Amino acid sequence: MTDIIIPTYLAADAVESLVAEIKRTAGCPVNVIATCQKASASVNRNYGLEHSTSDPLLMVDDDVYGFSQGWAAHMIRVMEEYPDCVMLTAELMRPDGKPGFCMGDPIRGGTGVSVVPARKLPTPCVAVRKDELRYDEHLLGSGFDDNDICEQLRRKYPNGIWLICHDVRVIHKNEMKNQRGPYWDRNRAYMILKYGTVP
């Protein structure tokens, strides 16, 4: 049974259709954990990690949809085929069908997988290993939580690889809930204070 975490501050009924779509299309037995905590993205991600047991596990943001049949099973197979893979992302597409934003600037399109040399990825639809590392809860709202966890992972796994799975494409609305305005400026300043730069 594979855990799929939906880190969201929305109420459970607001993500019912997403949970149903994930279960219908996963292609393998899954346990969907919708966090539904009235808190930051980091708090919700950590809540999901604390309540998950599978290795690997998946995370899916609440503004992702359009899953192809068997997508989760495929991502799990890729993680099994590449034991050095630290993080695997699906290809993120915009609702208009164009490639969506993808931190780390990976190769887009094609089939199979590609290594992401920058060794960082956004986390709207990822597979990761079970690990004791946690998201930094000093980050408010959302934003920069991806940067922070990837930096933690790079330091812990200096020989690890980050991959993009071209065979799994999902639509990411990229709503950036609670990300702009004071959250952005405050979180960016915190990253610089913590690392000397925005990783």
Segments in 59-181 forming alpha helices (H): 71-81, 145-156
pLDDT of the residue at 163: 98
**Secondary structure string (H, E, C) spanning 151-198:** HHHHHHCCCCEEEEEEEEEEEECCCCCCCCCHHHHHHHHHHHHHHCCC
Q: List CB contacts of 108: < 8 A, sequence separation 6 or more.
A: 91, 99, 102, 164, 166
> Residue 74 is part of a domain; what is its CATH number?
3.90.550.10
- 179 pLDDT exceeds 80? no
Band of pLDDT at residue 150, cut at 50, 70 and 90: very high
For range 148-160, the mean pLDDT: 97
Burial 107-140 (b: 16+ CB within 10 A, else e): ebeeeebbebeebbbbbbbbbbbebeeebbeebb
In terms of DSSP bridges, do strands 85-93 and 125-128 run parallel, antiparallel, or are they unpaired? antiparallel
**Residues 3-62: pLDDT tens digits?**
999 999 999 999 999 999 999 999 999 999 999 999 999 999 999 999 999 999 999 999
Residues facing residue 170 across a β-bridge: 92
Give pLDDT tens digits for 75-119.
999 999 999 999 999 999 999 999 998 888 898 999 999 999 999
Q: Which of 154, 155, 135, 153 is nearest to 145 (CA)?
A: 135
Q: Taking 90 as the threshold, does the pLDDT of residue 178 lie above it? A: no
- Chain position carrying tokens 């639809």: 125
Q: What is the pTM of this model?
A: 0.94
User: CB–CB of 147/198 below 8 Å?
Assistant: yes
Total structural domains within the chain: 1
CB 127 within 8 A of CB 164: no
Task: Give the pLDDT of residue 174.
Answer: 84
Range of 77's domain?
Answer: 2-195
Is pLDDT of 155 > 90? yes
